[in-house]
A = this chain, B = another copy of it.
Amino acid sequence: MRKALFLAVILCFFVTATSVFALTKINIPKDLSAVSKECIDCHKETNVNIYQQWGYSKHFRANVGCFECHEAQKGDADAFEHEGNIISIIVSPKDCARCHEKETDEFINSHHSKAGRIMGSLDNILAEVVEGNKGMKTEGFPDGISAAAVNGCWQCHGSVVKINKDGSLDPATWPNTGMGRVNPDGTEGSCTACHQRHEFSVAQARQPENCGKCHMGPDHPQIEIFKESKHGINYYANKDRMNLESNKWVVGEDYFAAPTCATCHMSATVDMPVTHNVGLRIKWNNRPPLIKLAHETDKKWGLESAKITGDMRKDNMVKVCVACHNENFVEAFYIQYEAQLHLYNDKWAKPGSKLYKKATAVLKAVKGKEYAKFSQKIDYTWFELWHHEGRRVRHAASMQAPDYVQWHGNYDLAKNWYGEYVPEIKEVIEMGKHSGNPKANELAVDLEEMLTTIMNDENHRWSIGKEDPKARADRDKRQKEFLEKYK
């Protein structure tokens, strides 16, 4: 069965290879186009490095010059005439697809290319209102737009690029290389988010720093976690042996010292082809407050990949793992990892979200029209519990970085729950009870009951001196044995 699959893959490879070859034969020009030569004449003076970077790229050797990518058609939203030619500044996935169809197709159908949709989610309140103001005024935003969105969110998630009347790009929306940029031609996504112009170096795209531009920081510290992990340690110790420039980059054939982000999430193994849909090897979506299987998110987003279930995605990932690890090892890892997901979900996420919803109801009853989310501390406390430490602990366990699991994850969850959240919930209860508002009082009494129930459950009763006596005795016994063993 394994062999059959292998043959199928090989076959597949040849089919693809042949077709690419045929296309290549037809398309690679014998010489650089006259128009591109004209571009270069000027730009190698005014922007020397662009010329040099392009000279280093595979595009150079294939006679793919400036105009071959920047060519536009009259009527394109962002087309303009420049020195007698119609061009556009933005090279969108549609442009790249003229040569790189398979890669673009995969990307366009991935969660990655939809990163711009966050602007339509409830998150827009943070950058636009809470953190921002309408002080940045441009032709495209005559009433103003938040510089926090422009310099922050949009630079990873992507802007909706706007065209000014004179054909130039609105400076609130450009420069922008956000993953889910909405381009003037209507396409979603930005290839240069990973494949930096004008070298489009595959080696650069395979390095963890590339992903780290967005996958870092308190809410999704994947690059920090990778660096702490054995995977990262081995990568940085052996970068020179990673064969990162190789066109064929199959783990186990072309390199074996360590994986990068690309290795596990995208690149080829002996029996899986490379894919530009980065979600297809990830079982769990570790972003929402409550734990969630990745395909459930895809379903909600209407992506075709919704049919690839979490378990199927795990199977894909295991195919990568076994390049270096025994299958039992991998299975045991998943048991550890998923136990952490459930610990997070049961102890903090479920009770925490219930409490927050009810506390918000109390606050709304007390404050009426003056209520605003993110204007009181409890909003930030809960937000960070799930969005910051709650993600950190899940990501850290998924990639085996123990310090992130403990000191940036579980510890922070406990500290902020017992040290901040519970006292803040109690304040809301007091506020509701003393508001003189019967509705608020009623909700506060509900909230109090809810809190009491939660604090008395298995997860939290230790904190009010009610640890299960048997569990306590067991723990004390183990501790005593351990200490005696090493006296």
8 nearest CB pairs, A to B: A120-B482, A152-B406, A155-B402, A48-B252, A171-B332, A375-B463, A147-B339, A377-B419
Chain A 146-161 near chain B by CB (<8 Å), digits 1 or 0: 1110111111100000
Task: Return the contact of A343 from the options B89, B132, B487 (Cβ within 8 A).
Answer: B132
Chain B binder among A9-17, A199-207, A274-282, A431-439: A199-207
Contact yes or no, B209 A147, CB < 8 A: no
- Say yes or no: A172-B486 contact (C-beta < 8 A), given A131-B411, A133-B458, A228-B216: no
Contact yes or no, A130 B343, CB < 8 A: no
| Prevailing SS type, chain A contact patch | helix
Q: Give min CB distance, A116 to chain B, whole Å.
A: 9
Cα–Cα distance between A134 and B221 once the two chains are bound (Å)? 27
Contact yes or no, B169 A332, CB < 8 A: yes
Q: Give min CB distance, A478 to chain B, whole Å.
A: 8
Provide the residues of chain B in CB contact with A408, threshold 8 Å.
217-218
Provide the residues of chain B in CB contact with A168, threshold 8 Å.
328
A397 within 8 A of B: yes
User: A269 — nearest CB in chain B belongs to which residue?
Assistant: B48
A27 within 8 A of B: no
User: A367 — nearest CB in chain B belongs to which residue?
Assistant: B465
Contact yes or no, A343 B462, CB < 8 A: no
Task: Return the contact of A230 from the options B174, B213, B216, B335 (Cβ within 8 A).
Answer: B213
Q: Give min CB distance, A341 to chain B, whole Å.
A: 8
Chain B binder among A71-79, A99-107, A234-242: A234-242
User: A251 — nearest CB in chain B belongs to which residue?
Assistant: B49
A114 within 8 A of B: yes
Of the candidates A119, A337, A418, the one having the most CB atoms from chain B within 10 angstroms of its own CB is A418
How many A residues are at the interface, by size bracket?
Answer: 35 or more
Cα–Cα distance between A413 and B151 once the two chains are bound (Å)? 15
- Say yes or no: A343-B135 contact (C-beta < 8 A), given A152-B406, A420-B377: yes
10 example contacts (A-B, Cβ-Cβ < 8 A) are as follows A49-B251, A49-B256, A132-B347, A133-B458, A136-B342, A171-B335, A201-B238, A203-B237, A213-B228, A217-B407
Task: Return the contact of A134 from the options B233, B413, B471 (Cβ within 8 A).
Answer: B471
Which A residues from 361 to 404 make CB contacts under 8 A with B?
367-372, 374-377, 379-381, 396-397, 400-404
A95 within 8 A of B: no
A129 within 8 A of B: yes
A247 within 8 A of B: no
Beyond the given pairs A152-B402, A196-B233, A207-B237, 13 more chain A to chain B contacts, judged by CB atoms under 8 angstroms and listed by A's residue number, are: A48-B270, A120-B483, A131-B410, A132-B410, A133-B346, A138-B335, A147-B397, A207-B233, A213-B401, A372-B462, A372-B463, A376-B419, A377-B419
Provide the residues of chain B in CB contact with A56, threshold 8 Å.
256-257
Which A residues from 337 to 367 make CB contacts under 8 A with B?
337, 339-340, 342-343, 346-347, 367
Cα–Cα distance between A150 and B403 once the two chains are bound (Å)? 12
Cα–Cα distance between A326 and B238 once the two chains are bound (Å)? 34
Provide the residues of chain B in CB contact with A462, threshold 8 Å.
129-130, 372, 375
Cα–Cα distance between A252 and B56 once the two chains are bound (Å)? 13
Contact yes or no, A50 B324, CB < 8 A: yes
Q: Give min CB distance, A431 to chain B, whole Å.
A: 13
Provide the residues of chain B in CB contact with A256, threshold 8 Å.
48-49, 52-53, 56
